Amino acid sequence: MYKELIKRIKYIKKSKKKKVFYFGNTAKKENNNFYLTNIQENNKFIYFGAIIFNNQSAQKIAKLVDGKVDLVLVDIEKKVFSKKKPELINIERSIKDEIKKSKIFTYKGNDLTVQACETLINYILIKDPRGIGGKKILILGSGNIGFKIALKLVESGGSVFLYRRNKMVLRNLVNTINYIRPKATIAKSQGLTKLNKNLGNFDIIIGATNGRSLIKPFHVESFKKNIFIIDIGKGIFEKKALLKAVSKKIDLYRLDITPAYDGYLENIYSTEKINNFNLEKSKNFKKFNLVKRGILSPENSIIVDNVNYPKKIYGISNGYGGFKQINRYKIKILKKKVKD
């Protein structure tokens, strides 16, 4: 596996695009120490990663990729338990100790999965006037991912049914969603501890189980014609049930989180650009108080791209984190005074 890792590093090094390697981890039990993901690329980035299950693998891989890529991403969610000791494996610490040359940044794999799922649902329903609103949605598996997806869908007006066997945990999850949802949201979440044979009431089913195949052939027989199902990638169908769903031409999706990764990479570089620590935050110039964007500033401060060499003026601070309403003509005069 390490030989394959080195081979892929050499391959992406040939590219002129920004090279990224990410470390992920998962609560799903695996026999291997790690496995590699496929190489992906878009207009700006080329990247792949490794899903890690122990600190030793994380450290060894970190040494191999350091300096070979522009950016190393580390999943900071604590999801992996040691097989030998009753403790969490701190992959983040192991990797940060080894990376000396490449830039390093953190991310949350589960949150990217949730974002990708929500985006996919909205894309599928783009021509539906109500979108998610009014849809009955069953989420199989109410762990970290299932819960976060449920909250987002309730916020969008979906009636969400969470399935989990542990009654006490399920009740707490459902109550939490219903308590923190926006006040204007009519939709609610509900809990299910048992699956009925008839799932014909649901418009959408999302699978976020930890490897449990819950959908059986008789469930498929009960599906609506226009239902669609999203499997986060952990296998919610029994094999015969999947074949039956395919034969019935049910819309089946296996979630691909590539779009979420692409968006997050853009987010990182945009964040770095706006919050460049090498640039001064503020400077008094003539009678003006120039402040770099992204900084909370006093009233009447002029927000610019660079306080030493301003090329752009974004506006005048209102003292509360926003801009004053000023017409374009005054902004034009202000630009001339600042640049002169």
Give the range among 156-170, 188-202, 241-255, 319-333 with minimum mean pLDDT.
Answer: 319-333
pLDDT, mean of residues 268-293: 89
**Predicted local distance difference test score (pLDDT) of residue 233:** 73
Please check the confidence at residue 29 and state whether its pLDDT lies above 60: no
Is the separation of the CB atoms in 217 and 240 below 8 Å?
A: yes
What architecture does CATH give domain 2-107?
A: 3-Layer(aba) Sandwich (3.40)
Domain covering 111-259 assigned CATH 3.40.720.10 in the classification: no
**Predicted local distance difference test score (pLDDT) of residue 237:** 95
Quick count: other Cβ atoms within 10 Å of Cβ 13? Answer: 11
| Domain boundaries defined on the chain | 2-107, 111-259, 279-339
Percent of the chain surpassing pLDDT 70: 95
Give the range among 46-60, 101-115, 131-145, 238-252 with minimum mean pLDDT.
Answer: 46-60
Q: Which residues contact 65 (CB under 8 A, 6 or more apart)?
A: 5, 9, 21, 72, 102
**Predicted local distance difference test score (pLDDT) of residue 22:** 96
Model confidence pTM above 0.85:
yes
Q: Of 57, 116, 120, give the one whose Cα is nearest residue 89.
A: 57
Amino acid at 206: I
Per DSSP, the three-state class of 54 is coil
**Predicted local distance difference test score (pLDDT) of residue 28:** 60
Q: Which residue reads 């976020």 in tokens?
A: 208
Would you say the CATH fold of 111-259 matches that of 2-107? yes
pLDDT in tens, 50-96: 998 888 889 999 999 999 999 999 999 876 555 555 555 678 888 99
| Spatial separation of the C-alpha atoms in residues 282 and 305, rounded to whole Å | 11
pLDDT in tens, 299-309: 999 999 999 88
Please check the confidence at residue 330 and state whether its pLDDT lies above 80: no
**Predicted local distance difference test score (pLDDT) of residue 86:** 52
- Categorize the per-residue pLDDT at 199 as very low, low, confident or very high, splitting at 50, 70 and 90: very high
pLDDT in tens, 134-184: 999 999 999 999 999 999 999 999 999 999 989 999 999 999 999 999 988
| Spatial separation of the C-alpha atoms in residues 340 and 310, rounded to whole Å | 10
| Spatial separation of the C-alpha atoms in residues 312 and 300, rounded to whole Å | 16
pLDDT, mean of residues 221-233: 93
Mean pLDDT, the chain, integer: 90
Give backbone dihedrals phi and psi of 49, rounded to 5 degrees, phi first: -160, -170
Is the separation of the CB atoms in 317 and 300 below 8 Å?
A: yes
- Categorize the per-residue pLDDT at 278 as very low, low, confident or very high, splitting at 50, 70 and 90: confident
